[in-house]
Each structure stands twice: as C-alpha cells, then as structure tokens.
Amino acid sequence: MRAMVLDAQKTPLVARRLPIPEPGPGELQLAVRTCGVCRTDLHVIDADLTEPSLPLVLGHEIVGIVTELGPGTTRFAVGDRVAVPWLGHTCGTCGFCTSGRENLCAEPEFTGYNRNGGFAEYAVADEAFCFALPDGFDDAHAAPLICAGLIGYRSYRMAGDAKLLGLYGFGAAAHILTQVAIAEGREVYAFTKPGDDDGQQFARELGSVWAGGSDELPPVELDAAILFAPVGALVPAALRAVARGGTVVCGGIHMSDIPSFPYEILWGERCVRSVANLTRRDGEEFFALAAKVDLETHVERFELEQANVALERLRNGQLRGAAVLSVGASDTR
C-alpha cells in the first residue's frame, strides 16, 4: 500500500510502499478513504510530543470502509463506513477507565502516535474505539469531525453553559464549534492572529458576533474562552477577556509555556483548565449532535502524497477550515 511515513522527528514525511496491515483480535482492517490533517500531527513531527512509535504513519481523523474483521469483532460488518479517532485503545481496568474517564487512562494507545494512522491506503483499528458516522457528511467533510470536532466538543462541554464564548485560534476546531454554539443559542467571539483579516472575515461569515486579533479585548466580558492555538501567552490574554467566575479552557494537547501573570486576572473565581484526549461518550454525543445541527465543515483537499504540503499550510495558518487527504475512492453524498 501507499503510505506517508515519519522516519524521524523534525523531518518531512516520506512516501513509501508498506505491507497492508492485518487485523488482530478485536480489530478492523479499513480501506482509508480520507484522513484529516491535525495540528497534533505537527506536534508529533516537531517533537513537542516526545514518544512516537517510529517509523510511524501519522493521521488520526480517519474515514474508512471495513474490509476485513479480526477475530472476536461484533460491532461492524465488512462494507461499513467508520471513523477512527485519536484515542485508539485503553487498558479498560485502571481507575480512570472504570470511572468514565478513559481519556486519562494510564496506558493509552493513540492513532497516528503509537498506532499507525491514516496517512496510508489501509489501517487497522480497535473496533471498540471506532465510530459510525452521520450519513449527512461525505468522506472529506466527515474527516474534520473526528478530532477537530470531537476535541472541540469536549472543550465546549468544559466551558459549561457560557452564553458569551470566546474562541482563540480560528482553525478546524473553532470553525466547527462556532456552528454548534450558535445552533445552541450562544454568542461566539473569535480571536485570530493579529492582522488576519481573512480569518476574521471567515469567523463572521460563520456567525460570530465579533472577530478580532488575539491582542484585542472583546467588546463585552466573556463567560468562557477556549484556546485552540497552542500559544501559552493567550492564557493571560483570555483571563483578561473573561468575567469573574469565567473559565479558560486549553483545548490543545501541547502548548508553549504560559508566562507569569498578575493574580488579579485569575482572582474572582476564574478558572483555567486543560482538555485531554476524548472519551467514546464524547464521540457518541457529538456525532448525534452533528447529525441534527446544520453543520458544514470547510475543507481543503490534498492527495496523499501532498501530506507535507498540507502540513506546512497548516503550520503557516494558510487554511480556511481543515486540510483533508484524499486517499481512496470517496463518496460525495
């Protein structure tokens, strides 16, 4: 099969031919149709995440068709369309797993990190951690839901019942979450890189009531803010933007160091919290919601061999929405 492989961190991916993987017990073999390109892929390449299983096939927003069933599989059949997310397996027995917090499992496996992912024509995945996808999304437009959507949704839940919601970093996750928040009657305030007029216009087109640079304060005090940009300096910026009792949610898996800040902007029972991975319950809830909301993902498509180009476009903030690799024959529903 064709695959784009990371041989060493801080190097580009390499096009290679690999054997088609065979499913083990409880696993599915999938013909990959599309795979989203996520900022976490950049964190793996750049060695911000330090323990990938190299050589590695990246990609954890996989849309694929089941082509073979491993022993003991029961949930899906050959021909089913499934999604494979970042959380690829957990131990199932630790205190986190048994208390509904499997996202914090002590011995997790992650797709595109220590399990090969979807930047290839075939992949294998633990059936228990795969999802059925809503019918209203074709393969390309479904891919960003699988991480940008899911992590965005978990971050959104952590923000509580905030009516005035700030989103810092208007990329794949924020453009999906904006539509969800507006559908639920909330107001969205979008923050982009200073001077990113196109990004701010995109946010307004999606219904944000205000859009400006991350160096600006919004016209009102916010109830909560979610940070998708991996920039630690945005934490004190967001604290200044939220009202007393407000919450700042850090939605990324990696962030640059947070600078010191005066206690007065944390005082007043403001809260800073992080989001780690996702749970299967998050996926079930979010995909059910996505099927009901008139949700439109904005994607830019790249061929599999253009993975490095897509990653650089993402790195440089040159995408409107999400990058998606077209790998196999896809539907266009």
pLDDT tens per residue, the chain (333 residues)? Answer: 999 999 999 999 999 999 999 999 999 999 999 999 999 999 999 999 999 999 999 999 999 999 999 999 999 999 999 999 999 999 999 999 999 999 999 999 999 999 999 999 999 999 999 999 988 899 999 999 999 999 999 999 999 999 999 999 999 999 999 999 999 999 999 999 999 999 999 999 999 999 999 999 999 999 999 999 999 999 999 999 999 999 999 999 999 999 999 999 999 999 999 999 999 999 999 999 998 888 899 999 999 999 999 999 999 999 999 999 999 866 555
Cα-Cα-Cα-Cα dihedral of 158, 164, 170, 171, to 10°?
40
Dihedral angle computed from the Cα positions of residues 207, 195, 177 and 266, in that order, rounded to the nearest 10 degrees: -110
CB atoms within 10 A of CB 8: 12
pLDDT of residue 243: 98
Of 199, 283, 287, 272, give the one whose Cα is nearest residue 236: 272
Q: Distances from the Cα of 123 to the Cαs of 35, 101, 117, 281, in angstroms?
A: 11, 26, 6, 23
H helix count then E strand count, the chain: 8, 18
Residue with token string 């009531």: 209
Ramachandran sector of residue 288 (left: φ over 0; alpha: ψ -120 to 50; beta: rest): alpha
Q: Does this model's pTM top 0.85?
A: yes
**Helix (H, G, I), strand (E, B), or coil: what is residue 214?**
coil
- What pLDDT, on a 0 to 100 scale, did the predictor assign at position 328? 85
Beta bridge partner(s), residue 189: 166, 210
Which pLDDT value is given to residue 116? 98
Domains with residue ranges and CATH for the chain:
2-147+277-326 (3.90.180.10), 150-274 (3.40.50.720)
Q: What is the pLDDT of residue 219?
A: 98
Bridge partner list, 6: 56
